[in-house]
Structure 1
Amino acid sequence: MNYKGSCHCGRVAFEVEGEIGEALACNCSICQRKGSLLWFVPREKFHLLTPEDAASSYMFNKHAIKHRFCPVCGMHPYGEGTDPKGNAMAAINIRCIEGIELSAIPVRHYDGRAL
């Protein structure tokens, strides 16, 4: 399935291909504050519809994840990193995807504070 999404103002827009089986709610210091529900996909399944430089980046702690956000509206639509095997991944904030029913998606809780 193909999904489209964006930040609130639309400056950062994307499309992503895949099936949303579950979302991850992380309790690390940034995810808890953002309230993101994350869906992880291979990076090649994620395509920006706007220029890459439309989004700003924030990295912290071990600098393993590039948290991408809109500098205009402040929304965090996605992040970029690698999985444990070194494959490029995108972490999509499903709250930024158009036309989905969030309550129908199972949420798995992850203890990011323990890392």
Structure 2
Amino acid sequence: MAEAQTKTGGCHCGAIRFAADVDLTQTVECNCSHCAMKGFVLTAVPAAALRVQSGEEKLTEYRFNTKKIAHLFCSLCGVQPFSRGEGPDGSKMAMVNVRCLENVDLGALSPMHFDGNSR
């Protein structure tokens, strides 16, 4: 596993800005109904590794299925930069939408397939 690097990102309109310590060798493409429709490439981080710099008050929450994950999106432009929830061990975590990070070459990534559609 590679060492985490700090990346910055945000939503389309810029209302939401964040920094996250991410390991881009550990990315996922999930085929659940939500992720597939939105075309997410995600990476998991501990909750403390995601720092919202501005716009927390502009985030709107969407939950579905088991309602365990808070899918957070900008109330102005609709982009979902990350979600918050708990890992299998109960620890607080976040899933960062890699497409919302700056200066990331998506073509250089090798996302693992996750079968969320069968869960």
- Range into which the TM-score falls when normalised by the shorter chain: over 0.9
**Structure 1 residue aligned with 2:43:** 39
- Please give the secondary structure, in 2, of the residue aligned with 1:75: coil
Q: Secondary structure at the match of 1:49?
A: strand
Q: Distance in 2 between matches of 1:22 and 1:102?
A: 13
1:58 aligns with 2:76: no
CA RMSD of the aligned region, Å?
Answer: 0.9
| Cα distance between partner residues in 2 of 1:26 and 1:15 | 23
Per mean C-alpha deviation after superposition, the further-off stretch among 51-60 and 6-15 is 51-60
Q: What per-residue deviation string (whole Å, max 9, x for no partner) do you get for residues 49-94 of structure 1?
A: 1142211010011001100001111111000011100011110000
- Of stretches 39-48 and 49-58 in structure 1, the one that deviates more from structure 2 is 49-58
Deviation at 1:29, TM superposition (A): 1.1
Give the Cα separation in 2 of the matches to 1:101 and 1:90: 21
Partner residue of 2:71 out of 50, 67, 70 = 67
For structure 2, which runs of at least 5 residues remain unmatched after alignment? Answer: none
Give secondary structure in 2 for the equivalent of 1:72.
coil
Question: Aligned to 1:104, which of 65, 87, 108?
Answer: 108
Aligned length: 115
Identity %: 36
> Which stretches in structure 1 are left out of the alignment for 5+ residues?
none
Instruction: Give 1:2 deviation, angstroms.
Output: 1.0
Residues 58 and 76 of structure 2 are in contact (CA less than 8 Å); yes or no, is this contact kept in structure 1? no
Query: TM-score by structure 1 length?
Result: 0.96
Q: Alignment partner of 1:4: what SS? A: strand
State how far apart, in whole Å, the 2-side matches of 1:35 and 1:71 are.
19
Number of the residue aligned with 2:99: 95
Normalised by the size of structure 2, how large is the TM-score? 0.93
Q: Give the 5 Å matches for 1:15-30.
A: 15-30=19-34
